[in-house]
């Protein structure tokens, strides 16, 4: 089964897929998780074109903050995460920036896709007040079904008109594993790629297209429904393998990819699941909490 078909916006998940055990992937460097108090920060660096092709993601640095406690209601803990996030964001921000645009991507009307709009709602916006110091502006461009335009088109236009030194694009992400939902924040200096985010942006949003550095911040809030199919098959194969009598079946299932029967799954199940995603039942609480954690972290990173 080729899990490549299942998109993940997390560099960490992609890295683990390629080489789950210890070992190096050419062109990719992963730093051991820095254990903080109840949080783990991993740094994946894609160093060159070889790494980029292997990972299906552009060269650059990807930081992942992970903790099961993020999904819990705990004000003190979320304040700690905001501070760690602020520190990591400062690492990625270009030195000496004066003006900054935060773009809250995604759809305010779909709970699992509303992270970006919610973050912008809680930011300290100062560009219209400050004449010097840190000028922060924010935009919620909406999604294509609402605007008829790509977010990238809208943001490009605004960047050209208002000339910020740096853009931060914040978006809800798709992960491969349900364990990541609401427990992970990813920061990268690579911008947004086509096909990423819950809403599948078509256009690139990066230093090349905008002319200024683009930092991407995201939280996985959905898993593609197709991922469940692959998880099921994996576990089924593992289950069969565990037993002497059925071990042969396991190999058969694992080998199905090359067989024509496998097409049944491809043809019958995946098309129906293609336009579906999997999300936690308490997604409203998850998004409310993490959008606040991130906006507070941004306020700290910008002004503290």
For the bound state, the minimum distance from the C-beta of residue 27 to a copy of itself, rounded and expressed in Å, comes to: 32
Q: Which of 165, 249, 254, 300 binds a copy of itself (CB under 8 A)?
A: 249
How far lies 206's CA from each of 6, 60, 152, 153, 166, in Å?
24, 11, 9, 12, 10
Helix (H, G, I), strand (E, B) or coil at 130: coil
For the bound state, the minimum distance from the C-beta of residue 48 to a copy of itself, rounded and expressed in Å, comes to: 32
Nearest-CA neighbor of 118 among 289, 277, 300? 289
Please give the residues from 264 up to 293 whose contact with a copy of itself meets the rule CB under 8 A. Answer: 264-265, 268-269, 272-273, 275-285, 288
For the bound state, the minimum distance from the C-beta of residue 16 to a copy of itself, rounded and expressed in Å, comes to: 17
Dig out the tokens for 101 from the structure.
């645009």
For the bound state, the minimum distance from the C-beta of residue 239 to a copy of itself, rounded and expressed in Å, comes to: 4
- Note whether 194 binds a copy of itself by CB under 8 A: no
Cα 103 to chain center, whole Å? 15
Q: Are 137 and 171 in contact (CB under 8 A)?
A: no
- Note whether 243 binds a copy of itself by CB under 8 A: yes
Helix (H, G, I), strand (E, B) or coil at 234: helix
Burial (Cβ within 10 Å: 0-12, 13-18, ≥19) of residue 148: exposed
For the bound state, the minimum distance from the C-beta of residue 17 to a copy of itself, rounded and expressed in Å, comes to: 18
Q: Toward a copy of itself, which CB reaches closer, 28 or 168?
A: 168
Please give the residues from 197 up to 236 whose contact with a copy of itself meets the rule CB under 8 A. Answer: 198-199, 223, 225, 228-229, 231-233, 235-236
Q: Which of 121, 165, 207, 209 binds a copy of itself (CB under 8 A)?
A: 121
Helix (H, G, I), strand (E, B) or coil at 164: coil
């Amino acid at each position: 089964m080729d899990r490549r078909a299942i998109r993940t916006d997390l560099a960490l998940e992609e890295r683990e897929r390629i080489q789950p055990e210890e070992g190096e992937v050419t062109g990719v460097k992963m730093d051991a998780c820095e254990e903080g108090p109840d949080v783990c920060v991993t740094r994946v660096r894609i160093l060159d074109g070889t790494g980029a092709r292997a990972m299906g993601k552009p060269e650059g640095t990807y930081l992942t903050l992970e903790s099961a406690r993020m999904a819990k209601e705990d004000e003190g803990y979320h304040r700690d995460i905001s501070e760690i996030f602020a520190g990591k964001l400062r690492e990625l921000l270009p030195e000496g920036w004066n003006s900054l645009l935060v773009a809250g991507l995604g759809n305010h009307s779909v709970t699992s896709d509303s992270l970006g709009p919610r973050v912008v709602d809680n930011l300290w916006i100062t560009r219209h007040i400050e004449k010097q110091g840190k000028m922060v502006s924010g935009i919620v461009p909406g999604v294509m079904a609402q605007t008829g335009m790509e977010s990238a088109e809208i943001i490009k236009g605004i960047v050209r008109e208002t000339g910020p030194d740096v853009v931060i694009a914040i978006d809800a992400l798709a992960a491969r594993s349900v364990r990541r939902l609401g427990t992970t924040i990813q920061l990268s200096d690579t911008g947004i790629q086509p096909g990423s985010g819950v809403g599948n942006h078509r256009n690139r949003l990066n230093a090349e297209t905008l002319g200024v550095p683009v930092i991407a911040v995201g939280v996985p809030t959905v898993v593609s429904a197709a991922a469940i199919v692959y998880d099921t098959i994996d576990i089924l194969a593992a289950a069969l393998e565990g037993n002497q009598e059925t071990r042969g079946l396991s190999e058969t299932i694992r080998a199905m990819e090359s067989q024509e029967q496998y097409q049944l799954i491809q043809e019958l199940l995946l098309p129906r699941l293609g336009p579906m995603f999997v999300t936690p039942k308490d997604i409203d609480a998850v998004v409310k909490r993490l959008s606040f954690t991130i906006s507070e972290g941004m306020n700290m990173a910008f002004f503290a």
